[in-house]
Amino acid sequence: MGVLKGFFKKDGWRYIPGMFFLVVNTALDVIPAMLLGQAVDLMYENVIDTRAVFLKMAQMVLVAIGIFAARTIWRAFINGNARRMEMWLRNTLFTHLQSLGPDFFNRQKTGDLMAYAINDVNAIRMTFGPAIALASTSLFTSLFSIGRMTTGVDWHLALACLAPIPLLLALILLLGRVTRVRFRRVQEAFAAISDRVQENISGIRVIKAYAQETPEVERFESLNANMRDTNVSMVKVSAVMGPMVALVFGLSFTVSLIYGSHLVRTGVISLGDFVAFNGYLTLIIHPVQAVARVTNILQRGLASLKRYSAVIETQPTVVDARRNLHKGPLSGCIRIDGLTFTYPDGESPALQRIHVTLDSGKTLGILGHTGSGKTTLCNLLLKLYNSPRGAVSFDGVDINDISLDILRDGIGYVPQDNFLFSATIAENIRFYAPEATMEDIVEAAKKADIYDSIMEFPNGFDTEVGERGVTLSGGQKQRISIARALVKKPKVLILDDALSAVDAKTEQNIWQELSGVFDGGASGVIVAHRVSALMHCDEIIVLEGGRIIERGTHEQLMALGGHYAQTARKQESGEVADDE
């Protein structure tokens, strides 16, 4: 419940008027049965008072109008507030997910997160909306009806008719526990099937390339069958409840008919009282039936709230600086001093004793085998993970003392996967800089050597790229990603293997444009597998096992004849280097 404290503090008051009108509604619900009984007695008198009978009918109409008004008001407050809660829960979850680091998403499946945002949020909304309303309506309707049955008719008759109901309630609550366990299995099955669909859609090209359509369909059929079985298993429990309620109330009405008729014949109660009593008994059927549904909803909601709370209570590993010593934008000066870093779940360091100094307008090239620590270093510069204090600084200020907004606003980053959103090319380029004009977008596209390719599309910059940029080639996606980084005019440009899918001529054209960016004062960190993408850098480091094994300019490293020189010669001769 702690995760809902913020919502109740803001909108919890809406439940108070909602509950007031709900009580008014349930109090009015029992009046028509009483008025009907009184009207029956009036019609069975020796001299029928027509005026009195019509007055009772008019009163019933007025009560019905009151019930309509009260029910409309409480539903607007209670169910409407539940919808507000649903919106609040989704906003809170989405905002919280944005604050979590890569380590969290490495442990979570996409299907699970989708289930939290859709199924679990909806189950919580049902608990604090329809379930509260249904439980309250059932409680007050039962209290008012039983009160009228015992005080207004005959308590002996009421006791005889209601005797089997406590046993029924006990059975319903017992089945509710079973429902909770089975609902959790349904949620797990939903998450599994969602994850499989998402992975298949994202990896459809790989599936088709390896002719795995039939095996994937078989795997999906297995998950689908499990989804069916878990839902049917839960429905079986619900299917038992309805007949149980019908059986018990059939018994209650039988007792009412036999015993009530006897009381009417002996003059203990009037015929009108007997009619009213059966009206009250009818009103109780729905509340007892509702116990099963309320229990079901509550069990689902509690299970979902537990899952939701586990995500919300996960603390981000990377938090904003408590002391923002860096008040202005970055100037691009980076210093890495003895950086050693181990991932939270790692056993050995991913980086060891890294020393680098990068001034404004200078570029640093990074070469190394896969897993040598190149991307890890980029992630630390972006503060996607916490680096040790004193190990990384910008403009002389420790990275841990710079706010995330200032840090990341000054960095243009092109990741390895070149993720594009399902939007137009212009919208993708503008992603980092929403305020960018069309002129800025065109300029960035030209610097990334993608402008001519974009203009060849029928819709130019308004071309929809499809999900994850599926309609574009790898080289086009890389160059659009570079344009996206350049449009914000960053002071630090990080390219993480961002030129791997372009040809040599395009690479050269991009480097010519980037030279102007670096001459303008921006510093660059260029990660690449190809030596041709690094040879123009002011300094190049070669990583292996998280350590710097070589450093220098292109000429110096070639003269050294080490790993860098060997890689360059292999690539020049057309051989595949062992780090590619």
One DSSP character per residue, 257-297 reads: HHHHHHHHHTTSS-HHHHHHHHHHHHHHHHHHHHHHHHHHH
**pLDDT of 494 over the 70 cut:** yes
- Overall average pLDDT of the 370-395 stretch: 89
Residue 77 is predicted with a pLDDT of 94
Residue 178 is predicted with a pLDDT of 78
Contact 114, 398 (CB under 8 A): no
**pLDDT of 478 over the 50 cut:** yes
**pLDDT of 159 over the 90 cut:** no
CA dist 445 and 440 (Å) reads: 9
Q: What are the structural domains, with CATH classification, of the chain?
A: 84-312 (1.20.1560.10), 329-410+492-504+521-580 (3.40.50.300), 417-489 (3.40.50.300)
**pLDDT of 577 over the 60 cut:** no
pLDDT, averaged across the chain: 85
> Where is pLDDT greater, at 326 or 36?
36
Give the lowest-confidence range in 72-76, 122-126, 341-345, 375-379.
341-345
- Overall average pLDDT of the 162-190 stretch: 78
Q: What does each C-alpha distance from 208 to 200, 216, 350 come to in angstroms?
A: 10, 10, 35
> Where is pLDDT greater, at 32 or 321?
32
Phi-psi region at 460: left, alpha or beta (left = phi > 0; alpha = psi -120 to 50) = left
**pLDDT of 578 over the 50 cut:** no
Contact 39, 56 (CB under 8 A): yes
Helix (H, G, I), strand (E, B) or coil at 398: strand
**pTM, to two decimals:** 0.72
Tokens 């009421």 appear where? 158
Confidence label for 554 from pLDDT (cuts 50, 70 and 90): very high
Residue 152 is predicted with a pLDDT of 82
Residue 45 is predicted with a pLDDT of 63
Confidence label for 47 from pLDDT (cuts 50, 70 and 90): low
Confidence label for 423 from pLDDT (cuts 50, 70 and 90): confident
Residue 325 is predicted with a pLDDT of 67
Contact 540, 554 (CB under 8 A): yes
Cα 135 from chain centroid?
28
> Where is pLDDT greater, at 33 or 296?
33
**pLDDT of 338 over the 80 cut:** yes
Confidence label for 392 from pLDDT (cuts 50, 70 and 90): very high
**pLDDT of 195 over the 80 cut:** no
Residue 435 is predicted with a pLDDT of 85
Helix (H, G, I), strand (E, B) or coil at 496: strand
Percentage, residues of the chain above pLDDT 90: 19
- 265: CB partners within 8 A, 6+ apart: none
Confidence label for 580 from pLDDT (cuts 50, 70 and 90): very low
**pLDDT of 579 over the 60 cut:** no
Give the lowest-confidence range in 30-39, 40-49, 283-292, 415-424.
40-49
Confidence label for 541 from pLDDT (cuts 50, 70 and 90): very high
**pLDDT of 538 over the 80 cut:** yes
